[in-house]
Amino acid sequence: MPYTIKDMSELTGLPASTLRYYDKQGLLPNLKRDGNNIRIFSDDDYASLRLIDCLKRSGLSIKDIKKFIDMAGKEGALTGRLEIFRKRRELLKQELENLKCILDVIEYKCWYYEKACEAGSDSAVKNLKPSEIPEKFHEALRHLHCTKR
């Protein structure tokens, strides 16, 4: 089904200016134009835009996304394309692990201040022995206090 730039902008949530930019950068090599040189998007272009958005959100630069797209259909490029996704996967796994550590600390601090509010003072919580702190927060405490794991 053909889509105008306005249609595609609404479908993807990407501004028309971004769609034009992606086209100018060569990220949509199969994009068609009508007799008036107006961009006509297809379902395949939609799928490409979803992938471009995913790659961009994963931290890949427009330049690197272009390299990925340029590999399409080239003999022997499957391995290179696979490697791009493997690298992204590893980086995202590390980022998730880092975010989990941050969330653990935030969860601990929420618990800490909830208990402090109940007691009317943070000294009641500050002076707790490690055995009095729920086990699920011990990892967060290690992050906060630079203790060995």
Indicate whether 58 belongs to any domain: yes
- Rounded to whole angstroms, the Cα distance separating 113 from 55 reads 39
Whether 68 and 95 share a structural domain: no
pLDDT tens-digit map of 64-78: 999 999 998 787 888
Closest CA relative to residue 30, chosen from 62, 81, 70, 90: 70
Range of the domain at 101: 91-145
**Global confidence as pTM:** 0.75
The domain tally of the chain equals: 2
Indicate whether 85 belongs to any domain: no
Backbone angles phi, psi at 32, to 5 degrees: -95, 160
| Structure confidence at residue 47 as a pLDDT band (50, 70, 90) | very high
CB 55 within 8 A of CB 88: yes
Residue range 121-132: average pLDDT?
88
